[in-house]
Amino acid sequence: MNHELILVLDFGGQYNQLIARRVRECGVYCEVKSYQTPLAQLKAMDPIGIIFTGGPNSVYLDQAPKVDPEIFTWGVPILGICYGCQLMAHTLGGQVSPAQEDTAREYGKTVTYYDTTCKLFQGLPQEGISWMSHGDYMAKVPPGFALVGHTAMCPNAAIADEARGFYGVQYHPEVNHTQHGTDMLRNFLYAVCRAKGDWTMADYCRTTIAAIREKVGNGRVLLALSGGVDSSVAAALLAEAVGKQLTCVFVDHGLMRLNEADEVEAAFAPWDLNFIRVDAETRFLLKLAGETEPERKRKIIGEEFIRVFEEEAKKIGAVDFLAQGTIYPDVIESGAGEAAVIKSHHNVGGLPDYVDFKEILEPLRMLFKDEVRQLGRELGLPEYLVSRQPFPGPGLAIRIIGDITKEKADTLRLADAIYREEIVKAGEDKNINQYFAVLTNTRSVGVMGDGRTYDYTLALRAVTTSDFMTADWARIPYEVLDTISGRIVNEVQGINRIVYDITSKPPATIEWE
């Protein structure tokens, strides 16, 4: 890949991936690297510019992350954001101090004034809201720097040494709350670093296909296809590159949504590849019979999935490459500190131990989720597959509370399909990030016609979230909920009561199990 490169040097801030995504949205390729990466290694990557991210530390403390000061004599433009700005100031002879109560400690939306003769702000309004989050401030600006942005509390919200191509901002241009923040990043890329903007998905698609062909040669590739966005796009990319040399194994565990397995199969019909669909509903249901504990259900499905895949792989024999749909956030986050396990997520990460292969192929390793979707469109995958909401690996098994039977799965499938159909019809799918139905284990008394019923309660869940780590319940209009409720109790046998889940995460999780 011969793209212009921006390096995002990571100092542990919470918006690091967002910075990288914004840069790519501006048409410039970038990679996130730890601040500890040796300078020689960074130089070998030959970037056209560097962005220092924010971070939780204070630069004046001994153990604070630092950079090799030689980075400032290299001649590459640098933009420092928040901690990155303070680090630049501190290293180049300025002074950074803890903000006093009544001075420049700022959090949240702040009116900021910009010097629009500075390249960073050229063509933008002189005033706007910026998103601040800093407890330290620059008491003294380093020699050579000019003040190019200020707020009521802080005289140096932005600094610049235009001769050397160094810029620093105390606020976060990458978050949506900062007005024209993306335009400022674009100015850094195009006006300061003189980027040409050669990062497009069409180009990535072309060059990656060529690279895969070269790497794979006459070899054979095996991919476990789950039907999720990542593995589907990886499959389409590989199919386009190596066609019949690719075998996709799609394990249908019988706990997919209505018509989903057929849709996945149909999506791959245009490609000449080896597509193996394993209908394993019976064996999964048998293994799950009587099990009510959520984590056990997950384990059973994860283990059975591997077993089925392994059996298929044995039939195929040795392969040269095992392909996986790993994406860039997984790469950036791997090696991050251990967080408490709330739910053990099932994926196919454990497969390599079980399959005879020589090398791993991860063609989406450098892409963010929205880029993966774009690539899927580029490859001609249908929109319903490319833009689908997350669906957990264990599928409906964790949306049927208590023990799982085929009847319950069929009931839930139908109700869930009606729910999703009505949400789309009302245009609410644009505002909601994930929505699905849950078959609770509670039965209650109802009345239908002249008769008594004793049927299941269905819960509807819908959340808005940007990262699925925290979430709010979606405010679906009452009329829409009313239509959904009316249709489900009339059309789905076995359900006589509908409830709407109005809990955020935390304290609840998005899924019920």
Q: Which stretch binds ligand XMP (CB under 6 A): 127-135, 320-328, 340-348, 419-427?
A: 340-348
Interface with ligand XMP, residue 346, by CB under 6 A: yes
| Nearest Cα to Cα of residue 223 among 252, 201, 246 | 246
Q: Identify the residue among 392, 400, 488, 498 touching ligand XMP (CB under 6 A).
A: 392
| Binding region for ligand XMP (CB under 6 A) out of 167-175, 233-241, 317-325, 339-347 | 339-347
Reduced 3-state DSSP string for 253-311? CCCCCCCHHHHHHHHCCCCCCEEEEEECHHHHHHHHCCCCCHHHHHHHHHHHHHHHHHH
Q: Looking only at residues 465 through 484 of this chain, which bind ligand XMP when binding is defined by CB under 6 A?
A: 468
Task: Out of 394, 411, 440, 489, name the contact with ligand XMP by CB under 6 A.
Answer: 394
Give the dihedral of Cα atoms 174, 177, 180, 183; nearest 10 deg: 20
What Å distances lie between residue 307 and 177, 249, 278, 300, CA to CA? Answer: 48, 12, 12, 10
* Candidate residues 434, 464, 483, 503; the one interacting with ligand XMP per rule CB under 6 A: 434
> If you search the block for the tokens 């005879």, which residue do you land on?
356
Cis peptide upstream of residue 477 (ω within 30 degrees of 0): no
Q: Which is nearer to ligand XMP, 65 or 227 (CB)?
A: 227
- Is position 54 an interface residue for ligand XMP (rule: CB under 6 A)? no
User: Is 129 in contact with 110 (CB distance < 8 Å)?
Assistant: yes
Kindly report the backbone phi and psi dihedral angles of residue 441, in degrees, each rounded to the nearest multiple of 5, phi listed first: -95, 10
Contact positions with ligand XMP (CB under 6 A) in 92-121: none
> Does 43 sit near ligand XMP (CB under 6 A)?
no
CB of 448 to ligand XMP, least distance (A): 33
Within residues 281-310, the interface with ligand XMP by CB under 6 A covers: 298
Torsion of CA 231, 236, 237, 241, to 10 degrees: 130
Closest to ligand XMP by CB, 62 vs 338, is 338
Our CB check for ligand XMP shows the closer of 113 and 435 to be 435
Residue 230 identity: D
The residue (of 98 and 390) whose beta carbon lies closer to ligand XMP is: 390
To the nearest 10°, report the CA torsion of 487, 489, 491, 494: 160
Residue 393's nearest CA partner among 311, 289, 310, 298 is: 298
Q: Which CB atom, from 181 or from 394, has the smaller least distance to ligand XMP?
A: 394
Contact 304, 283 (CB under 8 A): yes
* Least CB distance to ligand XMP at residue 511 (A): 3
Which of 170, 347, 485, 496 touches ligand XMP (CB under 6 A)?
A: 347
CB closer to ligand XMP out of 33 and 505: 505
CB 344 → ligand XMP: shortest distance, Å?
7
Amino acid 57 reads N
CA dist list (Å): 362 to 204, 238, 256, 268: 14, 10, 25, 19
Work out whether 505 is an interface residue with ligand XMP (CB under 6 A): yes
- Which residue, 97 or 509, has its beta carbon nearer to ligand XMP? 509
Active-site residue list: 82, 172, 174
Q: Quote the least distance from Cβ 326 to ligand XMP, whole Å.
A: 14
# residues near ligand XMP by CB under 6 A: 16
Q: Which one among 242, 393, 396, 496 touches ligand XMP, defined by CB under 6 A?
A: 393
> Which segment (35-43, 192-200, 338-346, 356-364) binds ligand XMP by CB under 6 A?
338-346
3-class SS shares of the chain: helix, strand, coil, % to 5: 35, 25, 40
Cβ proximity to ligand XMP, 318 vs 499, nearer residue? 499
- 447-469 CB burial, b ≥16 within 10 A, e <16: eeeeeebebbbbbbbbbebeeee
Is residue 365 within 8 Å of 331, Cβ to Cβ?
Answer: yes
Residue 399 as a binder of ligand XMP (CB under 6 A): the answer is no
- Cα separation, 157 vs 198, in Å, equals 31
* Residue 349 binding ligand XMP, by CB under 6 A: no
- Find the part of the chain contacting ligand XMP (CB under 6 A) among 11-19, 65-73, 121-129, 345-353: 345-353
Name the residue nearer to ligand XMP (CB basis): 453 or 503: 503
Beta-bridged to residue 222, according to DSSP, are: 247, 322
Q: Min. distance of Cβ 298 from ligand XMP in angstroms?
A: 5
- Taking a C-beta distance cutoff of 8 angstroms, is the pair 454, 442 a contact? no
- Smallest CA-to-CA distance from 131 within 151, 159, 156, 160 is with 151
Residue 511 engages ligand XMP in binding (rule: CB under 6 A): yes
Binding site for ligand XMP (CB under 6 A): 298, 342-343, 345-347, 390, 392-394, 434, 468, 505, 509-511
